[in-house]
Amino acid sequence: MEARVVTKNIEVEGRKFVVKKYTAMDGLKVAKLILAKVIPIFQDFIPLLTKMTDSRKQPLALNKDGTDAPANGNISASELVDNISLDTIGLALEKISEEDFDYIVTKSLQNISEVLPAGEAPVMYSNGTYGVEGIEYDPILVLRLTCEAVMWSCGDFFDGSRLTSVMSPLFNG
């Protein structure tokens, strides 16, 4: 049996970081927050996705410029993206409490180290203080590192085959 990979090396803005997976409990808590707070954001897009899905069942017509366009008033993927407004995303993000957001960011940064000439330095210590100078003033870097940690740590949870294997006993008796 192969050893489970729990770290990943990434490079962001020319800096090298090591992202460590969350513990199982922390990963479940973050996944729960994502499911409870973030997934409902997409309910606003269901009508658009339905129109897009329906369009795949219909023959394509041609736009005036000769490009393919869905027939019967359905929308294409590019039109879907065009219909997602920043206002909708902003309203959805308001649903995430500051406490939940802080939890996700803190747990993420506590699982990341920067590779420096003297060795690895934790981006954030368990007491919430920053371990690498200047990161606390770089919101884009903090957001990027948080996204990397969430995707790396929770990616397995949202993998269809693994999630199905966990959920199947609930539905198959």
**pLDDT tens digits, residue range 101-152?**
899 999 999 999 999 999 999 999 999 999 998 999 999 999 899 989 988 8
Alpha-carbon span 137 to 152, nearest angstrom: 24
Strand stretches in the chain, DSSP E? 7-12, 15-20, 60-62, 68-70, 112-116, 119-122
How many CB atoms lie under 10 A from the CB of residue 120?
Answer: 14
Say what the pLDDT of residue 137 is.
95
Return the domain boundaries, the chain: 7-172
Instruction: Return the amino acid letter for 171.
Output: F
Say what the pLDDT of residue 172 is.
47
- Listed in sequence order, the residues at least 6 apart from 135 whose beta carbon sits closer than 8 Å to its beta carbon are 109, 123, 141, 142
- Listed in sequence order, the residues at least 6 apart from 9 whose beta carbon sits closer than 8 Å to its beta carbon are 16, 17, 18, 19, 115
Alpha-carbon span 27 to 150, nearest angstrom: 8
In this structure, what token pair is assigned to residue 21? 């997976």
Q: Taking the model in full, what pTM does it have?
A: 0.66
Query: pLDDT of 74-89, one tens digit each?
Result: 555 555 556 666 666 6
